[in-house]
Amino acid sequence: MFKRLDEGTGEAGHATVQITVNDAVVACRQGDSVAAALFAQGISACRDTAVSQAPRGPFCMMGICYDCLVTIDGKPNQQACMTLARDGMAVRRQHGAREVPA
């Protein structure tokens, strides 16, 4: 779906960051948003909608469409495109609406 530009074409070396996506380890780069990390890994769907449980993924990449909502470190409804990937971050697909703990 997406790939990194090859080193030879001008991409500077960037530090590697490791996150997990649904428990699978994903290597990404310092400066990647969570949404960019998902795309680089070939993942285009990150949630199922609250209305019809249809799969959705990041769409606008600028924080306005709210289609990239995921659960990050146990916190639901996080915008994957507005959150920078940090080492050890646990990202999970969000199924439907967020659950509010009792």
Partner 1 sequence: MISMEQCDLLVVGAGPAGMAAATVAATLGVDTVLLDEQPGPGGQIYRSVTTTPVTNKRILGEDYWHGATLVEPLRQSGARYEPGATVWAVSQKTAADPSGFEVAYSVGGEARILQARQLLLATGAQERPVPVPGWTLPGVITAGAGQILLKSSGLVPSGRMVLAGCGPLLYLVAWQYLNAGARIDALLETTPSGRLAQAMPHAWGFLRSPYLAKGLRLMRAVKAGVRIARGVTALEARGDGQLDSVRYEAGGASHTLAADLLMLHQGVVPNVNLSRAMGMEHVWNERLDCWEPAVDAWGASSVPGAGIAGDGAGIAGALAAEHRGRLAALQVAHSLGRIDTARRDRGAAGPRQALARAVRGREFFDILYRAPKEFLRPAGDTIVCRCEEVTAGQVRETVKLGCTGPNQMKSFLRCGMGPCQGRFCGLTVSEIIADELGKHPREVGYYRLRFPTKPLTLGELASLPQTDESIGAVVRLKK
Interface residues with partner 1 (CB under 8 A)? 1-6, 9-12, 14, 29, 31-33, 36, 39-40, 44-45, 49, 51-52, 54-67, 69, 77, 82, 84
Report the C-alpha gap between 57 and 7 in whole angstroms: 28
* Helical (H) or strand (E) element with 34: helix 34-40
Q: Which is nearer to partner 1, 20 or 59 (CB)?
A: 59
Query: Which two structure tokens, joined as six digits, stand for 37?
Result: 């990390």
Q: Which is nearer to partner 1, 10 or 74 (CB)?
A: 10
| Closest-CA residue to 43 (of 31, 51, 32) | 32
Q: Which is nearer to partner 1, 58 or 89 (CB)?
A: 58
Residues pairing with 71 in the sheet: 92
* Shortest separation between residue 29's beta carbon and partner 1, angstroms: 7
* Helical (H) or strand (E) element with 20: strand 16-21
* Shortest separation between residue 25's beta carbon and partner 1, angstroms: 18
* Shortest separation between residue 41's beta carbon and partner 1, angstroms: 11
